[in-house]
Amino acid sequence: MRRKLPLIVLWVLYTLPLIAQRTMLVSNNSDDYFLTEEYVSYYEDTSANLDYTSVLQKKFVPLPMENVRSYYSSHFWFKITVKNSSRTQAWLLEVLEFGIPKVVFCDPQKHTSVSTGYVQDFKTRAYGHKNFVFDLSIPEGETMTYLLMTSPAVASGPVMKIRNNTKFVSYANNEYLLLGIYYGLLILIVIYNFFLYISLHDRVHLYYVLYVVSIGLRSLQWDGLGFQYLWPKVPVLNQWLNFAPQLLLISFFWYAINFLELKNRHPFYYKTILYTLVGYSGLYLIDMVFAIKYIQIAYLVPFLVIYGISVTVYRKGYRPARFFILGYSLFIISQVIYILVLKGFRLENEVLILMFVYSLNIGFVIETIILSIALADKMKILKNDKEKAQLLIIEQLKINENLKDTVNRELEHKVLERTSELEAAKTKLKEQADHIKNMNRLLDLENYKLKSNVKEINLQRGLLKALTFEEFVKTFPEETACFRFIEELKWKDGFVCHKCGGQKYSKGSDSFARRCTKCHYIETIKANTIFHNLKFPTEKAFQIIYLTLISEKEVSTYELARKLELQQKTCWSFRQKIMEELKRKQISKQDILEQGWGILIKE
C-alpha cells in the first residue's frame, strides 16, 4: 500500500484539472443558466486540424486560459457537461458573442457538428438569430457532454448561456423589440438633424449626423443585426466594420470641436484634442501590425480629453456646453454599467437583464437625445443673444430719438427767444441786405468762373490734353473706372437696343450691362465698342490707346508689351484694331486731340 501511495498522489494531481470542472445541472427551478468558468474547460489545438473525436482524447484544463501560445493561430475547444433534471428536453446553448470568426458545435453522443461564424454566410446557422444558438437535446435524468470550437478565443472563453426554448423565445422577442426601438430612435435623430442642417446650413448638425450614423454602424457591428438583416451573404463586411469604432471617434472629434467652437475660441484646446487623436491613430496603425496590449485603453483617451476640455470650457462661461457634459456623463455611466455586466453582475428580471446588457446602446440613445437638446439649446442661446443685441439697438434708437426731440424743443425755445431779437435787428438786417446782395453777385461771378474751370477740367480729362501717362493711369486705375467712362460715353444720349430699337431697359447680368425690356436682349458695356471681345484687362487697353493716340512720341509694340507687361502680339493686334476703327470712322489724330478719344467708343 505504501508503494502505491506515490502513484495515487500523482494520479490525483494529474486529474485535478478534470475534477475541477463541474457539471451544469438544469432543472425545473430555472429556465436560464449562465455558464461560468467552473462549468467550462478548454484545450488549445495549436495544429488547428484536429476533429472532435481526436480532441475528446486530449486533456482539457479549467478556465481562465493560461500559458496559451497564440490566440490567433490555434483552435480552442471548450467542453461543457450538462445534466438534465427537468421535465423538458428542449434546451438551447447560446453563445452571446457575435464577433467570433469560426464556431463549431459538436455533439459527440449523436456524432454531429455544426460549423458557422461571422466570416461565413448567415444561412450556416442552425437558428436565424444574431447570436450563435445550438440545440441541446438531453433526455430527462441523463448527462451529456458537448464540445464548442472557436477560432480565435479570449482568455475567459466565450460567454455562453443555457436556456429552454420558451425562455429563449421570450428573451429574443424582448431583445429584438429593444433593439428595434434603439435603431428607430437613431434613424429619427439622423433625419431630424439632417433636415436642420439643410435648413440652417450649420455644419455642426452635419457632423452630428455623421456621429450618430457611426454609432449605428458600431452597434450593427457589435450586436450582429447588420449581418442578420443587411448583409447576410457578404460576411466580409463584418471585418470591414471593425473600423467602425475609429469612425465613431473621428466623427465625435469633429462634432465636439465644432459644437464647443474650440478652433476659434480656444485654439490651445483644439490642438490638444487634435494631437491626442493623431497620437491614437498612430498607435492604431501600429496595432494593425504589432498587437498592442492596452490599445482599448488608448482608444478611450481622446474621449476623456474631450470630456475634460468640455468641462473647462463650460467653467469659462460657454453655457451650451452644459448639455454636452450631461449627455457625455450619462454615457460614461452606461459604460460603467456595461462593464459591471461583463464582470459578472447578475439580475433575475428579464427586462432589467436586457437593459443592463444593452446599457451601452441605451447610453448611446440617451447621449444622442441630450446632444440633440444641446444643439437646440445652443441655437436658443444664440437666438437670445441676437434678440438682446437687437433690443439694445432698439433701446439706443429710442434714446437717440428722445435726444433729438429734446434738442428740437430746445431749438424751438431758442428760436422764440431770438424772434424778438430778430425783430429788433430787422432794421439792421435791411441795411445789411444790400451788402449781402452785392456779396451774392460776387459769389455768382465766382461760381460761374468755378463752373467754367470745372467744365474745362472735365473737357481736358475727356480729351486727355492735360494728363500725363502717370496721371492717366491714376485716372483709370482699374476696370470699374474704365467701365464708368465707357458708360458715360456710350449711353450719354440714352439707351437704344441694337436688336429691336427699344429704349427702355433694366439691369443686366452684371453692374454695367443693360437688358432691353422689350426683347430681353442683354447688351454688355463692351459690346459694339472697340473693346468688344477684349481678352486682356480693359485698363491695359486704355493705356494702349493713350500711348498710341495721345503720346507725343510714337511707342513701338515691343515697348508697349514691356511697359504694360503684355505679349507683343497682343499689343500689335489691339493697335491694329484701333487703326482700323479710326479708318472706318474716318477719324484723324487731330480729331482725337480736339474731341477726345471717346469718339472711338461712340457709334
* Between residues 303 and 384, the one the model is more confident about: 303
User: Given 350, 378, 406, which residue is the final one in a domain?
Assistant: 378
Whole-model pTM?
0.57
Q: Are residues 309 and 213 in the same domain?
A: yes
CB neighbour class for 453 (10 Å; exposed up to 12, middle 13-18, buried from 19): exposed
Closest CA to 359 of 388, 330, 390: 330
Q: Are residues 185 and 294 in the same domain?
A: yes
User: Given 341, 358, 378, which residue is the final one in a domain?
Assistant: 378
Of 203-207, 402-406, 436-440, 443-447, the range with the highest mean pLDDT is: 203-207
The reported pLDDT for the residue numbered 590 is 73
Q: Are residues 286 and 364 in the same domain?
A: yes
Question: What's the whole-number average pLDDT of the chain?
Answer: 80
Phi, psi at 287, each rounded to 5°: -65, -25
d(CA 93, CA 106): 12
The reported pLDDT for the residue numbered 17 is 43
Angle at 398 between CA 397 and CA 402, to 5 degrees: 120
Domain assignment present for 194: yes
Across the range 365-392, mean pLDDT stands at: 74
Domain assignment present for 10: no
d(CA 514, CA 151): 77
Residue 172 has pLDDT above 90, yes or no: no
pLDDT tens-digit series, residues 450-480: 544 544 444 445 445 557 788 888 888 888 8
Across the range 267-288, mean pLDDT stands at: 91
Q: How confident is the model at residue 154 (pLDDT cuts 50, 70, 90)?
A: low
The reported pLDDT for the residue numbered 295 is 81
The reported pLDDT for the residue numbered 454 is 43
Q: Are residues 190 and 70 in the same domain?
A: no
Of 122-136, 292-306, 547-561, the range with the highest mean pLDDT is: 122-136
Domain assignment present for 441: no
Domain assignment present for 366: yes
* Between residues 349 and 142, the one the model is more confident about: 142
From first CA to last CA, the distance across the chain in angstroms is 135
Residue 437 has pLDDT above 80, yes or no: no
Q: Are residues 155 and 224 in the same domain?
A: no
* Between residues 422 and 452, the one the model is more confident about: 422
The reported pLDDT for the residue numbered 221 is 81
Residue 344 has pLDDT above 70, yes or no: no
Q: Are residues 248 and 360 in the same domain?
A: yes
Q: How confident is the model at residue 269 (pLDDT cuts 50, 70, 90)?
A: very high
Q: How confident is the model at residue 308 (pLDDT cuts 50, 70, 90)?
A: very high
Q: Are residues 161 and 208 in the same domain?
A: no
The reported pLDDT for the residue numbered 71 is 54
Q: How confident is the model at residue 382 (pLDDT cuts 50, 70, 90)?
A: low
Count of domains for the chain: 3
Q: Are residues 312 and 229 in the same domain?
A: yes
Question: H/E/C letters for each residue in 442-479?
Answer: HHHHHHHHHHHHHHHHHHHHHHCCCCCHHHHHHHCCCH
Domain assignment present for 5: no
Residue 413 has pLDDT above 90, yes or no: no
pLDDT tens-digit series, residues 27-69: 988 888 888 888 999 888 888 888 888 898 888 988 776 655 4
d(CA 437, CA 426): 16
Closest CA to 175 of 117, 223, 123: 223
CB atoms within 10 A of CB 217: 18
Residue 319 has pLDDT above 60, yes or no: yes
* Between residues 90 and 268, the one the model is more confident about: 268
Q: Are residues 364 and 281 in the same domain?
A: yes
* Between residues 594 and 603, the one the model is more confident about: 594
pLDDT tens-digit series, residues 555-572: 888 888 888 888 988 889
Across the range 236-243, mean pLDDT stands at: 85
Question: How far does CA 403 lie from the centroid of its chain?
Answer: 50
Residue 176 has pLDDT above 80, yes or no: yes
Q: Are residues 135 and 202 in the same domain?
A: no
Q: Are residues 205 and 133 in the same domain?
A: no
Residue 390 has pLDDT above 70, yes or no: yes
The reported pLDDT for the residue numbered 603 is 61
The reported pLDDT for the residue numbered 266 is 92
Residue 386 has pLDDT above 90, yes or no: no
Domain assignment present for 420: no
Residue 9 has pLDDT above 50, yes or no: no
CA distances 139 to 25, 86, 166, Å, are: 13, 9, 17
Using left for φ > 0, alpha for ψ between -120 and 50, and beta otherwise, residue 157 falls in left
* Between residues 426 and 539, the one the model is more confident about: 539
CA distances 209 to 251, 371, 482, Å, are: 9, 11, 50
Residue 589 has pLDDT above 80, yes or no: no
Residue 1 has pLDDT above 50, yes or no: no
Residue 523 has pLDDT above 50, yes or no: yes
d(CA 29, CA 8): 39
* pLDDT above 70: percentage of residues in the chain: 82
User: Given 169, 202, 218, which residue is the final one in a domain?
Assistant: 169
Of 294-303, 451-460, 588-597, the range with the highest mean pLDDT is: 294-303
The reported pLDDT for the residue numbered 107 is 92
Domain assignment present for 463: no
CA distances 134 to 26, 126, 146, Å, are: 16, 7, 11
Q: How confident is the model at residue 15 (pLDDT cuts 50, 70, 90)?
A: very low
The residue range of the domain holding 148 is 16-169
Domain assignment present for 4: no
pLDDT tens-digit series, residues 77-115: 999 999 999 888 889 999 988 888 899 999 998 889 999
* pLDDT above 90: percentage of residues in the chain: 14
Q: Are residues 217 and 365 in the same domain?
A: yes
* Between residues 261 and 598, the one the model is more confident about: 261
Question: How far does CA 117 lie from the centroid of its chain?
Answer: 35
Closest CA to 81 of 26, 16, 13, 17: 26
List CB contacts of 266: < 8 A, sequence separation 6 or more.
Answer: 260, 309, 313
Across the range 198-209, mean pLDDT stands at: 85
CATH code (residue 262): 1.20.1070
Least confident of 63-77, 239-253, 342-356, 367-381: 342-356
Residue 312 has pLDDT above 90, yes or no: yes
Residue 391 has pLDDT above 80, yes or no: no
